[in-house]
Structure 1
Amino acid sequence: MRKIFGKWIDQYFSDEEAILLALLLALGLAVILMLGQPLGPVFAGIILAFLMQGPVDWLESRGVPHLLAVSLVFVAFIGLFLGMLLFVMPKAWTQLVNLFNELPRMVSQVQALLLLLPQKYPDVFSESQVRELIQLATAELSRAGQWVLTFSLNSIGNLMALLVYLVLVPILVFLFLKDGRVLARWWASFLPERREMMTRVWHEMDVQIANYIRGKALEIVIVGSVTFVAFALLGINYAALLGIMVGLSVLIPYIGAALVTLPVALIAFFQWGWGGEFMWLMIAYGIIQALDGNVLVPLLFSEAVNLHPVSIIVAVLVFGSLWGFWGLFFAIPLATLVKAIANAWPRHEQAALPDKA
């Protein structure tokens, strides 16, 4: 066993750069797990600056000075952020509270429909089974509604942390945009001069991950905005809340759209029933999903992320459970990073043993 393990070590970890990269990855993971909460504003600033580096590079390629390009992109970011904070989020929160206040009426309608099942299908459903299901669902919805109504009061203790984010993150974003190249050169000065493997990994990340992250952020904004406008024109209740949900659903490949379809259909059904308005809304929702998958995604993602669907689903489950929202957002980029490291990792083939005469 020791001989087999030794050969495996010699094959994959005999290169000094590979060992250094493994140590850096382990150190980075340890910093995120141990200091993720106190360094949260720094990580958020790095992520947002990375998202906005594309527009800065585009302006600089057209002759705009670096500081002016950074200032223009930063002002646009602040304007978008304030618009979300002052107009979109309060409206969505109000609609969420109203939705939970309206849940008792919706539950009553569902109860009436469920109680008809034992009459129509007595061999399949019994009245006791249906009533137990109704009691369980009512208890869960009551707890969820109580959580939503009391969340704002319970969050007063976190107000200072929220203010820290609101003040520090914009400052850090501006500094990272302005001095990001200087900081990158300073960090690279600590690395060995011979770093072919790290360079290969970085180039693959820069081509695929940067394209994915910036494209995904833009896709969320476009899909969410178009959904809100379409739903508001069709007159459905909670249009802002549903627009945010549909926009965020693009974070989860394959299953995000399927999951968000249920609340869209339920809210439309409880508002209109099986009428023409319900059909028109579902047709509009289907068109938005089709345009997103067949038009918007090919336009935004110029470089395909070549990952097997099983790898994508596993990455979403693993990183989403570890880091929540940010884990879902970065699941595919992190899986791409793992693939890039695996492809660039040096392998020293074992020499074949000479045949005995």
Structure 2
Amino acid sequence: MAENEPRTVTTPGPSEVHDPAVRAEIRKAFIWLSMTGTFALVVLLIQPLLLILGGIIFAIILDGGTRLLGRALPLPRGIRLLIVVLAAIGFLVGTVYLTGVELGQQATQLRETIVVQGDAFLKWLSSMGLMPGNDDIKTLAREALGSLGRLTSYLSTAFGALTSLFMIAVIGLFLAMEPRIYERGFQWLLPTEKREEARITFDRMGFTMRRLMAGRLFGMFFEGVLTWIALSLAGVPMALILGILTGVLAFIPNIGAFISGLLMVAVGFSAGVETGLLAIAVYFVVQTFDGYVMIPLVAKQTVDMPPALTLGAQILLGTLFGIYGLALADPIVAMIKVALERRSERGPQRVLIAPP
């Protein structure tokens, strides 16, 4: 080989495709493979993605409190955020300190009551010929009451899902401290011509989520306090823990109310038939007032989503992703709703089709 011979190969190789039709088909195949890979990656990473989404929602709650405080106190954002965080921590610590012993005792008693009442109900079904046998009764009791037992156990020990909650709180705190940094970083990943549209959509999503979370927190507080007062007046045992559980489960509309109702009825009948009937009455009164008075009033000021759509999303996401999907179904639907509404405002999009 001569020393002055060119070292760069100029002849066509097997990787070169000169046919425009073949190049178009390869491009389509690459797009479909990329979409399939992205979908598979999302499925594999769905749990951490939902934790990140939970952190975003927590950041929105902190941001909403910071903005609300800014209407009364003209302080820098960092100081207002610090006040909101300290107030939330003070509320949690004060609640645990003042009611911790009683809540622990009531949580243990509630768990035992639920298991006993469930066993009694299943034995009654077996005596009526609706259940096969004792072994199946015990198996079904463990399966049906296992989640309720874990729920009260987590509440009494305060160790269940601690790592996930800590990560959500840390992510939410960092996002709430400097939200614009992360927003600009996400916009930077998009094409230049899409960034302004993304900014508008993000602003609307943030506004919608702040209103949704404000209404959700207000509804949780109101429903929990009302349930506690009503059950105390009716003489139902463990009224405080039932009120707190009702308020917490109210974060999951429809399904949360059903679970809290089962807890009320089970505890009520453990104290007697009359108390059980009063618990049923309290449940229907609270849920009726909440459904026909509070929810419409709050929905007018926040985000009005069709109940069937909300329930369907909860069932679908709960089945796919467990408790995280169930709890985050409403925010996910709300964000999709905002994105679709913004797209509809822009009118029909032109689709450029290459000539054959």
Normalised to the residue count of structure 2, the TM-score between the two structures is 0.67
SS at 1:194's partner residue?
helix
Determine the C-alpha separation between the residues in 2 that align with 1:298 and 1:284: 20
Determine the C-alpha separation between the residues in 2 that align with 1:302 and 1:272: 41
Larger radius of gyration: 2
Determine the C-alpha separation between the residues in 1 that align with 2:200 and 2:139: 54
Give the match for residue 339 of structure 1: 337
Give the match for residue 62 of structure 2: 52
Determine the C-alpha separation between the residues in 2 that align with 1:267 and 1:44: 32
What letter corresponds to residue 201 of structure 2 in structure 1?
V
Give the match for residue 20 of structure 2: none
> What's the offset of the Cα at 1:96?
4.2
Normalised to the residue count of structure 1, the TM-score between the two structures is 0.67
Give the match for residue 98 of structure 1: 109
What letter corresponds to residue 347 of structure 1 in structure 2?
P
Cα 1:326–1:174 change in 2 (3 A) is same
In the TM superposition, 1:277-356 aligns within 5 A as 277-303=275-301, 305-343=303-341, 344=343, 347-348=348-349
Give the match for residue 68 of structure 1: 79
Give the match for residue 14 of structure 1: none
> What's the offset of the Cα at 1:316?
1.0
> Does structure 1 retain, via aligned residues, the 8 Å contact 2:70–2:80?
yes
> What's the offset of the Cα at 1:255?
4.8
Cα 1:93–1:100 change in 2 (3 A) is same
> Does structure 2 retain, via aligned residues, the 8 Å contact 1:228–1:240?
yes
Moved more, 224-233 or 89-98: 89-98
Work out whether 1:136 is the aligned partner of 2:136: yes
> Does structure 2 retain, via aligned residues, the 8 Å contact 1:67–1:178?
yes
Paired positions, count: 310
What letter corresponds to residue 285 of structure 2 in structure 1?
I
What letter corresponds to residue 317 of structure 1 in structure 2?
I
Cα 1:106–1:58 change in 2 (3 A) is closer
> What's the offset of the Cα at 1:72?
0.7
Give the match for residue 182 of structure 2: 183
Cα 1:201–1:88 change in 2 (3 A) is farther
In the TM superposition, 1:118-137 aligns within 5 A as 129=129, 132=132, 136-137=136-137
> What's the offset of the Cα at 1:53?
0.9
SS at 1:301's partner residue?
helix
> What's the offset of the Cα at 1:114?
5.6
Show CA shifts across 1:308-342 (max 9, x none): 44422321112222333332232123223333333
> Does structure 1 retain, via aligned residues, the 8 Å contact 2:231–2:239?
yes
SS at 2:202's partner residue?
helix
> What's the offset of the Cα at 1:69?
0.7
> Does structure 1 retain, via aligned residues, the 8 Å contact 2:106–2:241?
yes
Show CA shifts across 1:127-156 (max 9, x none): xx256366533443256778959x979xx9
> Does structure 2 retain, via aligned residues, the 8 Å contact 1:92–1:241?
yes
Determine the C-alpha separation between the residues in 2 that align with 1:297 and 1:41: 27
Show CA shifts across 1:76-97 (max 9, x none): 1212333455566775564343
> Does structure 2 retain, via aligned residues, the 8 Å contact 1:237–1:267?
yes
> Does structure 1 retain, via aligned residues, the 8 Å contact 2:318–2:326?
yes
Which structure ranks higher in relative contact order (CA pairs < 8 Å, sequence separation ≥ 6)?
A: 1
What letter corresponds to residue 65 of structure 2 in structure 1?
P
> Does structure 2 retain, via aligned residues, the 8 Å contact 1:223–1:288?
yes
Give the match for residue 268 of structure 1: 268
Unaligned runs of 5+ in 1: 1-18, 118-128, 352-357
Determine the C-alpha separation between the residues in 2 that align with 1:87 and 1:336: 36
In the TM superposition, 1:168-247 aligns within 5 A as 170-195=169-194, 197-247=197-247
What letter corresponds to residue 49 of structure 1 in structure 2?
A
> Does structure 2 retain, via aligned residues, the 8 Å contact 1:55–1:73?
yes
Determine the C-alpha separation between the residues in 2 that align with 1:332 and 1:109: 36
Determine the C-alpha separation between the residues in 2 that align with 1:256 and 1:108: 23
Give the match for residue 10 of structure 2: none
- Aligned-residue sequence identity (percent) comes to 22
> What's the offset of the Cα at 1:250?
3.1
Unaligned runs of 5+ in 2: 1-30
SS at 1:74's partner residue?
helix
What letter corresponds to residue 334 of structure 2 in structure 1?
T
> What's the offset of the Cα at 1:299?
4.0
Cα 1:145–1:58 change in 2 (3 A) is closer
